[in-house]
Structure 1
Amino acid sequence: MTDVLAPPARPARPSRAKSDDSYDDVVDMFVALATMPAESHEYRRQRERIVNRCLPLADHVARHFGRRGEGLDDLIQVARLGLMNAVNRFDPDKGPSFIGFAIPTMMGEVRRYFRDYSWSMRVPRRLRELHVQIGRATADLSQRLGRAPTASELSRELGVPHEEIVECLVAGDAYQLDSLDAPRGSDGSGSTRSVADGVGGLDPQIEHITDREAVRTLVSGLPQREREVLHMRFFESMTQSQIAERIGVSQMQVSRILASTLQSLRDHLD
């Protein structure tokens, strides 16, 4: 009777292969790789199997950094480059876990990419590295304080001088630059203003740049005495009498030199 009333035994759940989560099978693949000649076709095929086995791991690392302003496709390529470096350098005799070696290698490659290549403008390396530290400290302090931390609070948290924190925060604006055509609200008339509308202004002397450069070339081709007379008159603000005394001629000759030289320059410009 007891056997009749007893509930039927439930079938045991199939256990997941340990290698699916831990990548322990990769170490065995490396052990097999070490027995193959490095120039052989079998060696290349085995190495390719290891890389393909670990590609999901690299993609997971890339997605971890996916919301920091860079395209996911670019980050996947960088993480996979780190994976290749890990495969090339991993030695199963020195460490039993490939994950423990590969993940820091891939994350380091992605962090170097952010540090060295993702800035829109060239910024000193020390500021790029400090920018990463400030980002982490800002998240921790914001959670603790319930608000965004000040530069002084970041300085105390990181043990970095206040001036360097401020310099890095200013430099952080160069991480991603806005397009000059990006909208910046509207003006009083309701028209949309762009970034370019608030950056600088039109140089009133811009039209004279071509003339100045043309005159510079013509003046450099004048005889030495004419160049000296022009320099003394227009750059040293000397009178014709002072120029005449310096070069040992009459004031009238200085007047004729100036007149003929200026006329020659005008003719060439026209």
Structure 2
Amino acid sequence: MSIFSDNLRYLRVKHGLTQQKIADILLIPRERYAKYEGMTDPPLDCLQKISRYYHVSIDLLLSFDIRQVPYEDLIKLEDNRILLPMAVDSFGENKIEIIPARAQAGYLSGYSDPEFIEGLQHISLPFLRNGKYRAFPVTGDSMPPHKEGSFIVGQYIERLTDVIDGKTYILITKNDGIAYKRLKKNSASSLTAQSDNTIYEPYEVKASEVLEIWQYACSIATQEFEQDDFGVMSVKDVLQGIRQDFSALRNEFAGRKVQ
């Protein structure tokens, strides 16, 4: 027997299902399914169906005895992002992996690969202890004053429901890759990603496209800030002042009409 076959049998019994019922769900003969609870490995498409049905990641099904963890705890994590490879030092402290710009393209395929993560450079920051952190490069000019070449250090969060409206996050998605944006929850199934540079339009991100979310913890600047870097924020302050002045004038005018 293998860990996978043990997990498969455990999940079926946990749900009170027969082999025939699971076989019907997978659209395969019962005899073939019975072999999966024995010594035969299922093809990839069938393995994906099993993972999605039970809401347990393929990583866990193949390599971890899930009987050791309460099943209810496993299914609380969205999209089954159960196993997050992380590097630790000789004292067991988490290291902060740095994703260099040249590794961005490979991150989508390597973020869950322990060998990929192990090959990254690491740093440690004494004020970031609790949680899992990773540093991502800034690209473009959409989030001033952070310049291209700087790094945003993010703390890993497990659930979309943990996103706080108006805060900034590193967002890893299937289609867009790595993006640093200010987020707002629309519903349980989508987010709005917005740039601080107002020339860029906000856009919607479906929850099903999200692979990882890292909440802003700190930033590492590789270039000195200049006065022009704060131009967007200055415009925002000016507009806010105009709104306040307009509101005050409107209230004053309304007061005169009452008299």
With the length of structure 1 as denominator, give the TM-score of the two structures: 0.23
Greater fraction of residues in helix: 1
**Which is strand-richer, 1 or 2?**
2
Q: Which has the higher contact order (CA 8 A, sep 6+)?
A: 2
TM-score between the two structures when normalised by the length of structure 2:
0.24
Bigger radius of gyration: 1
